[in-house]
Amino acid sequence: MSSLMVDLAERSYPIHISANLLRDPEAFRAHIKGNKVIIITNQVVDILFGAVVTDTLSEFQVEKIVLPDGEQYKTLKSFESVIARLLELRAARDTTLIALGGGVIGDLTGFVAACYQRGIPFIQVPTTLLSQVDSSVGGKTAVNHPLGKNMIGAFYQPNAVIIDTLSLSSLPKREFAAGMAEVIKYGIIYDKDFFDWLEANQQGIADKQQSLLQQMIRRCCEIKAEIVAQDERESGIRALLNLGHTFGHAIEAEMGYGQWLHGEAVSAGIVLASLVAQHKNWMPASDVCRIRALLAAFGLPTAPPKGMGYQAFMQHMQLDKKVQANKIRFVIPNDIGTAVVTDQVDEALLRKLLDAS
């Protein structure tokens, strides 16, 4: 089992990465407080892994809450239904929640854990690539509002993140591709060598070769852990992790949550941010082509939805969490391997790029 730490003083926790961890009681045991465990999952993941994890945790008193599958259920209504069920199950402060699923389940469970009785322990057990490399690490928890993604939430760190790379074997191709958008993001904002490695190994990654997946996921987690350790609450460098997200969240909100997967919307957003960089002479056209080609190689969209122009984007981006002093802040790459946060993106340039897409 490969492990690394997210270093946050008294809130530090490990990330365990290996095959077959869902069947390994030792991976869970040290991170469970008390004797009662409640697994929160969705209908699809429950069929695949619910019984497996329940058996693995057989030494504990295990209950399960199963939600519908989909981004459209990442809502306050779902939050309230889970809280009600925890009360019915008499969950206490020594009850440990297990978030078994993708980013929706992880974000929702984390937010529930942050709020229930003012905070109870939880463990992230991500089963999608996107959640393994991004949303399960760093303590961002939230639900969506119809007017904006992740607008209701809290920073709340898990006790541990347990990543079983074999869980990706059952992941549909579209979901796997969506996770690759976040993987590629790390190379663009932080590590050019990693971007080069992704280009060189794209076929093996697409074929889900276990050795490559474990190496790739570990590097993404290392980068995120380094960034979160420096900036837990996103007052500085952590904002770079939002590359493509300002545009991407607008796409998700405009199209309706779940119509475009989060990673698909981020992919289109990454290309738009790269085009901004090209027009500002921060990045050569050749680098934009490399970024677009790597995203496309995994079947990801490299342009926003047809007909979604400047006005639609602005309507949503002006409500984005990253707006400060009424100015929209964008993460813009200035080379493959580095990026900056700026509110200095000319309106005329945005209009040109967005209306042309």
To the query of whether residue 23 is one of the catalytic residues in this protein, the response is no
**Residue spans in the chain of domains classed CATH 1.20.1090.10:** 173-356
Where helices occur in 165-209 by DSSP H, the ranges are 173-189, 192-200, 202-206
What is the C-alpha to C-alpha distance for residues 290 and 345, in angstroms, rounded to an integer? 23
Token pair, residue 194, equals 């990693």
To the query of whether residue 279 is one of the catalytic residues in this protein, the response is no
User: Using an 8 Å Cβ cutoff, are 176 and 204 in contact?
Assistant: no
What homologous superfamily is domain 173-356 in, according to CATH?
A: Dehydroquinate synthase-like - alpha domain (1.20.1090.10)
Mapping DSSP to helix (H, G, I), strand (E, B) and coil, where does residue 340 land? strand
Q: Please tell me which residue in 10, 90, 118, 326 is annotated as part of the active site.
A: 118
**Residue spans in the chain of domains classed CATH 3.40.50.1970:** 2-168
To the query of whether residue 334 is one of the catalytic residues in this protein, the response is no
Q: Please tell me which residue in 63, 182, 232, 252 is annotated as part of the active site.
A: 182
To the query of whether residue 264 is one of the catalytic residues in this protein, the response is no
What is the C-alpha to C-alpha distance for residues 176 and 354, in angstroms, rounded to an integer? 27
Token pair, residue 181, equals 């958008």
Give the torsion sign (CA, 213, 218, 223, 229): positive
| pLDDT reported for residue 119 | 98
> What does residue 42 show for φ and ψ, rounded to 5 degrees?
-120, 175
To the query of whether residue 145 is one of the catalytic residues in this protein, the response is no
Q: Please tell me which residue in 36, 224, 316, 322 is annotated as part of the active site.
A: 224
Straight-line distance from the first to the last Cα atom of the chain, in angstroms, rounded to the nearest whole number:
45
What is the C-alpha to C-alpha distance for residues 77 and 52, in angstroms, rounded to an integer? 28
What is the C-alpha to C-alpha distance for residues 132 and 220, in angstroms, rounded to an integer? 9
Q: Please tell me which residue in 249, 292, 322, 329 is annotated as part of the active site.
A: 249
To the query of whether residue 222 is one of the catalytic residues in this protein, the response is no
User: Using an 8 Å Cβ cutoff, are 181 and 270 in contact?
Assistant: yes
To the query of whether residue 347 is one of the catalytic residues in this protein, the response is no
pLDDT by residue for the chain (357 residues), tens digit each?
899 999 999 999 999 999 999 999 999 999 999 999 999 999 999 999 999 999 999 999 999 999 999 999 999 999 999 999 999 999 999 999 999 999 999 999 999 999 999 999 999 999 999 999 999 999 999 999 988 889 999 999 999 999 999 999 999 999 999 999 999 999 999 999 999 999 999 999 999 999 999 999 999 999 999 999 999 998 899 999 999 999 999 999 999 888 999 999 999 999 999 999 999 999 999 999 999 999 999 999 999 999 899 999 999 998 877 787 788 999 999 999 999 999 999 999 999 999 986
> 2-168 sits in which CATH class?
alpha beta
User: Using an 8 Å Cβ cutoff, are 238 and 330 in contact?
Assistant: no
What is the C-alpha to C-alpha distance for residues 198 and 201, in angstroms, rounded to an integer? 5
| pLDDT reported for residue 357 | 67
Q: Please tell me which residue in 185, 242, 252, 264 is annotated as part of the active site.
A: 242
Q: Please tell me which residue in 245, 292, 322, 329 is annotated as part of the active site.
A: 245
Q: Please tell me which residue in 71, 232, 234, 252 is annotated as part of the active site.
A: 234
To the query of whether residue 208 is one of the catalytic residues in this protein, the response is no
Angle at 47 between CA 46 and CA 51, to 5 degrees: 70
Alpha-carbon distances, residue 278 vs 267, 296, 319, 333 (angstroms): 17, 19, 26, 9
- What count of other Cβ atoms lies within 10 Å of the Cβ of residue 292? 18
| pLDDT reported for residue 268 | 98
Q: Please tell me which residue in 149, 238, 292, 322 is annotated as part of the active site.
A: 238
Burial of 305 (0-12, 13-18, 19+ CB in 10 A): middle
| pLDDT reported for residue 148 | 83
What is the C-alpha to C-alpha distance for residues 74 and 283, in angstroms, rounded to an integer? 36
